[in-house]
Amino acid sequence: MSLLQAGKIYISILQSSEGDIMAGELQVYFNGEYVPESKAGVSVFDHGFLYGDGVFEGIRAYNGRIFKLKEHVERLYESANAIALKPPLEQEEFCKAILTTCRINNLRDAYIRPIVTRGVGDLNINPRSCKTPNVIIIAKPLTPTYGDKYEKGLKLITAPVTRTPPQCLSPNIKSLNYLNNILARIYANQYGADEALLLDINGYVSEATADNIFYIKNGVVGTPPTATNLKGITRATVLELAQKLGYDTRVTMLTLFDIYNADEIFITGTAAEVAPCVEVDGRKIADGKPGKVSLHLMKEYRELVRTTGEEIFNESKQKTKN
């Protein structure tokens, strides 16, 4: 979709008789159209609703730029391919639709949730009854996930729920069924923790409910391999950033013993960004304060995301023309 077309859509929405945008209501992309958030929805027969049969992504926009847009859309399509689901848009078209959704809602800083469901089908799990996938894009403002705890540090707890092993369902499929993670988060909520760690079936540390886990020991920044956890885009970005800043990095299996005795712990995720952790299972990590390396990486990451990415409003091109 061109900038001119997006502008026409934006104007038509502004001129709508219901005045949803004027009333401050967000517009949701649904199969090529924009629908007021209060009226956006899928059929009760959509298999994404009935069975969690679909995939999604979580993306961030900062300062008028969408960070790692192409990487997120590529991962969305990898998830879809893994469950034999073909989105009705090409990846480039999907990227443009995401940019347009932010533009129409006049969002410079946002959390973006693209979703592809299997579509409407019968009341059985067979996906053959679903003829056409549904594509939904939600973009809305987002406040920091952990508020003022980035400076104070998070408290983690190990959940009794085991991370789903790859022989059952690959953790790299971001499916609409997140019950494994949700059950662990419920446990964290019950015990007053900010996040929960999940172990894999062999007892190694896998990840948190919505984040990857990092530890720092003797100057080495380490994180578990992604065979049993999501290939986090923030995780990969932080590994690359740490290397550029001169830190030694390592992808290695971790046990709770390693976590308890780390010099520093932090988690990473699109929504969480880089968040230092100061306690795990009631045990203080080092002196119980966010570590220097964690805070350094948090600062550098925040600077990176605000200065790179796909422009929403093509401001640099407009400046060049002027």
- H or E, element range at 182: helix 179-190
- Strand-pairing partners, residue 214, are 266
Q: Other CB atoms closer than 10 Å to residue 137's CB: what's the count?
A: 23
Q: Is 174 one of the catalytic residues?
A: yes
Contacts 24+ apart (CB under 8 A), 90-99: 94/135, 95/69, 95/70, 95/310, 96/1, 97/1, 97/29, 97/32, 97/135, 97/137, 98/59, 98/66, 98/69, 98/73, 98/137, 98/139, 99/66, 99/69, 99/310, 99/312
Considering 152, 174, 299, 317, which one is annotated as catalytic? 174
**Torsion angle, alpha carbons of 6, 48, 271, 162, to 10:** -160
- Active site positions, annotated: 174
